Structure 1
C-alpha cells in the first residue's frame, strides 16, 4: 500500500483543513530525505557554527580585555604562551562540553528546551572547570577575560541556536527534514500519539501509517481528520517501514503489543537504521524527574515528586533578587522616561496596582505602569460581550480603554517592568506562572490550583508560548508543566525566549 493513499499532510497548528481540498502526502523525495544524510549535514553545520561562535567569543574577549591599554599589552607579552594555551583549551573544551551535553543530538533540536539547557550547562561547566584548573595550577589568568568570554559566548550560542531552530521549524512545516513514523497500538492509543505528533510539527515527525491489528479496513482516520494507511498487525510493521518511507516505529501503549512482541520487534530492527520508540501516557513529567532502577527482568521507572522548598528554591530566590536589582539599576533611565510619558499622556497615577493571587493563594498587589484610562475597571463590564480571550481570561486586541502611551508599552511589554520591584519584595519571581486575578482563581478547577504552588512570574511559559493567542486550556497546560518541572536552567531559557517573544510582539495585546 503506497504512502500516496494519504489524503492530506499533517495539519499545521492554527490552519483549518478545507474539506473540499484533497492533497497528497509528501513522498520520500518531497518530505523525508534519507535520515542519516540530512542528520549528518545538520550536525556538521551546527558544529561549524558553534566552533565559529566559541572561537569568536574567546578571541573577542581576549582583545577586549588586553588591547585597551599599554599596560595590558605588557602583561600579555610576559604570558603569551599561557594565553595561547588557555584560548585553545577553552575553545576545544567548550565544544567538547557541548557534545557531552547532547547539544548535537538531532532529536532534541527545534523542540523543547533541552537543547538550550545543554548549552547553558556546557558553558558554565567549561568555565567552572577552567577556574578549578587555574586555581590548582596557580595560573594567572585575568578574571576580566573570563568575565567577558562567558556571557558573550553564551548569548551568541543561544542566538545562533535560536536562528537555526527557526530555520529547521520552517523547513519542517513544509515537510522537510522530517522522519516518517509507523504508530503501533490500539485505535485509542494510536490516535493519542498521532494527535500529539500532528499538533507539534516542529518535532519533525510525520505519521506514514498505523498498525492496530485491523486487517479489514485499508485506512485509519486520526482525530484531526487525517487519513493514513492501515497496515494491519505487528507482523506487517517491518515490511511497511520500507514501503512507506518511514524511519521510526512508535509503540503507543501496551494494549496491542506485549513484552515478548516488543522484544522481537526490537530484534528485527536492530540491524537497520530504523529507530524504535515507546510512547507513554505519563504526561507533564520531564526527563530530569525520571529515574531508572534496573532490576533484572523488571525495569522500574521512578518519578521524582516535585518539591517547592529547599536549596534549589533558595538559589532561585537569590537569582531573582540579584537579576532584578541589576535590571532596575540598568533600566532606571528608561523607567524614568516611561513614568514621565505616562504622566503627560493622560490624567491619573503613573503606576497601576492590582490585587493578584500569589504563592499558596496569598493575595498581593502587583505593580505595572498604567496603560489604561483611569476608569478602566468600571468600564470592564460593558466590554465583556466583546471578550476575545478564552476561559477565564479577558482580552481585546483593540481595547478602547488603552491609552496612546499604553498601547506602545503593551506592544513591547514595557508596562511589566515595575514588577521587578515585586520580585525584590518577594511576592513575585522573574519566571513563573501568570499571576491570576482573584475572580479567576474562584473559577479554577481543582487541578488548576497547582499553579499557585510556586510564585507567579513576570514572564513564564505562557508569555513565551503564544501569550494572548493561547487558549485557556493551553495556557493552563503550559503553566502546570512549569510548576511540575521547574529548573534554574529552564528559567534561563525562558528569560532568553522572552526577549525573542517581546521583539516578535506575537500575541501582545
Structure 2
C-alpha cells in the first residue's frame, strides 16, 4: 500500500515537472519573440513550428531528471544536491539535443531559443524543488510525514546519531527504540529511548512495532553480525541503512561505495582523490610551466654547469635518490653546490646540524663551494628539478622531497607528507625556507597535504617569487 502511494506521488511529481518544462519552453518562446526587435535578432517561426522541437525536448528532459535521481527521497540531505541534479540534467539535455540536431541536420531550430529555454527551465525546476523541499520540511516539523527508525546497536558512538536526529526534526526521522547486543539492557532506556530486545529479536520487533527503517550502528568490524539482520529487513520489506564509524568528522578521508571488477567495495580515500579535474590541471600546469622554463633558461643552465665544472672537479649535476609519492624512489637532479664526494663527509658533520630532527642543514657547511653558496642563496641550484617535474616525478608545488636517509626516519602521522607528489616549492619554502625547524617543516607539509587545492598551488607559486628574489632563509 505504501509503495503504491509512493509510486503515485512520484507520477504526480513527474507530471508537475513535465508541466514546468512545457511552461519553460512556452515562456522562452514568448521572451525570445519579444526581444527580437530590441536585440535585432532574427524573427522566430510560429509557435506551431516548434512542436517537433518540444517533442524531442520533453522525453529527453524527463528521462535525464529520472536518471539523475531527482525523484528519489532527499530527506535529511541538502537541497543543493537536487539543484545540482537539475542543472546536470539540463546540461546533459542540451548536449544530447545538440548532437541530435547535428546528426539529423535540423538546422532550422533557433539555438538562442533552446539556450533561453534551458536557463528558464533550470530556474523554474530549481524553484519548484526548493519549494517542495522546504514545504516537506515544514510538514515534518509539524509531526507529519515521519519515519520511525529502529537503531540496532547501543555503542557510545550512537549518541552522536541520536543527537543529530533530534536536532533536525525537519528530516522527519523519529527514533522508535533500540536493539542491543547485551541482554541486560533489554527493557531499559539508552539515550532516552527504550531497548526493545537483542539482535535476534529483530523479526519480532518488526512484526509487533511500527518501524519504517532500520539503522545499523554497529562498529564496522562487527558487520558480519549485521548480514542476517539485513536479510530479515529484506524479508519484511523494510529499508535499512548502515552507519560507518571508521571516519570521524575531523578525518581527511571520505567514504564512498565503489565498484571494481563487478565487486562492491566500501572505499576510504583522501578528499583530493576525487578531485580528478583539479589534479589533471595541476599536472598540465606542471608540464606547461616546466617546459617553458627549461627552454627559456637553457642558456643560463649551460653557463652554470660550465662554471661548476671550472671551479671544482666532478659532474655539474648532482644526483640523489629521494622519496616521492607514497614512498616511490626517484633520482632528483640539482646543480652541484658542494665539493665532489660531499656525501661521504655527512656522517662526520651530522652532529653540527642547525635544524632539529632527522633533517640535516648547516648554515656554514664546509662542503659548500663559493659558487655553490651563490646558487643556493638564489635557488638556481634547483633549476634541474624542472626535468623531474616534466617527467612527472615531482610537481612545481608540494612537500619537499627528502633524501632517503632523512625520509626513513620520519614515522607515524608525519609520513602523510608522502601522500602527495613532492614539489620544488611549498608552504615551508614560503615561510622561512631553511630557517624553519623540523617540527614546523612537517606541520607545513601536512597542512599543504590536508588543504590542497589548485588555487593554493597558484598562491604558493606567486609567494615563492619574492622569497627567492630576496634570498630569504636560503642555506
- The two structures, once aligned, show a CA RMSD in angstroms of 4.0
- Cα distance, 1:198–1:451 mapped onto 2, change above 3 Å: farther
The match for 2:119 among 140, 146, 151 is 151
CA distance in 2, matches of 1:174, 1:107: 18
The match for 1:269 among 227, 233, 237 is 233
Q: Which residue of 1 aligns with 2:63?
A: 96
Q: Which residue of 2 aligns with 1:11?
A: none
Q: Which residue of 1 aligns with 2:206?
A: 241
Once the two structures are TM-superposed, the CA of residue 68 in structure 1 deviates from its matched residue by 5.7
**2:272–2:452 CA contact under 8 A, matched in 1:** no
**1:110–1:169 CA contact under 8 A, matched in 2:** no
**1:97–1:125 CA contact under 8 A, matched in 2:** yes
Once the two structures are TM-superposed, the CA of residue 220 in structure 1 deviates from its matched residue by 2.3
CA distance in 1, matches of 2:59, 2:254: 27
Bigger relative contact order, structure 1 or 2 (CA pairs below 8 A, ≥6 apart): 1
Q: Which residue of 2 aligns with 1:115?
A: 82
CA distance in 2, matches of 1:450, 1:170: 41
**1:109–1:115 CA contact under 8 A, matched in 2:** no
What are the within-5 Å matches in structure 2 for residues 51-62 of structure 1? 51-62=18-29
The match for 1:125 among 83, 92, 103 is 92
CA distance in 2, matches of 1:171, 1:214: 37
- Cα distance, 1:450–1:42 mapped onto 2, change above 3 Å: farther
CA distance in 2, matches of 1:35, 1:193: 26
**1:181–1:206 CA contact under 8 A, matched in 2:** yes
Is the aligned partner of 1:278 residue 2:242? yes
The match for 1:231 among 188, 191, 196 is 196
What is the SS of the residue equivalent to 1:303?
Answer: strand
What is the SS of the residue equivalent to 1:230?
Answer: strand
**2:140–2:172 CA contact under 8 A, matched in 1:** yes
Moved more, 111-120 or 176-185: 111-120
**2:28–2:116 CA contact under 8 A, matched in 1:** yes
What are the within-5 Å matches in structure 2 for residues 385-400 of structure 1? none
Point out the structure with max Rg over C-alpha.
2
What is the SS of the residue equivalent to 1:206?
Answer: strand
**2:188–2:194 CA contact under 8 A, matched in 1:** yes
Once the two structures are TM-superposed, the CA of residue 299 in structure 1 deviates from its matched residue by 4.7
- Cα distance, 1:49–1:167 mapped onto 2, change above 3 Å: same
Is the aligned partner of 1:182 residue 2:150? yes
What are the within-5 Å matches in structure 2 for residues 9-408 of structure 1? 35-36=2-3, 39-40=6-7, 42-66=9-33, 76-77=45-46, 80-81=48-49, 83-107=50-74, 111=78, 113-140=80-107, 141-217=109-185, 218-222=187-191, 227-254=192-219, 258-259=223-224, 261-281=225-245, 282-283=247-248, 290-293=256-259, 299-307=264-272, 311-312=277-278
- Cα distance, 1:293–1:237 mapped onto 2, change above 3 Å: same
1:327-358 CA-to-partner distances (Å, cap 9, x unmatched) read: xxxxxxxxxxxxxxxxxxxxxxxxxxxxxxxx
Give the alignment's TM-score, normalised by structure 1: 0.49
CA distance in 1, matches of 2:254, 2:88: 14
CA distance in 1, matches of 2:18, 2:104: 27
CA distance in 2, matches of 1:164, 1:233: 39
What are the within-5 Å matches in structure 2 for residues 428-439 of structure 1? none
- Cα distance, 1:143–1:44 mapped onto 2, change above 3 Å: same
> Where in structure 1 are there 5+ consecutive unaligned residues?
1-33, 317-441, 458-509
CA distance in 2, matches of 1:64, 1:102: 30
Once the two structures are TM-superposed, the CA of residue 294 in structure 1 deviates from its matched residue by 5.3
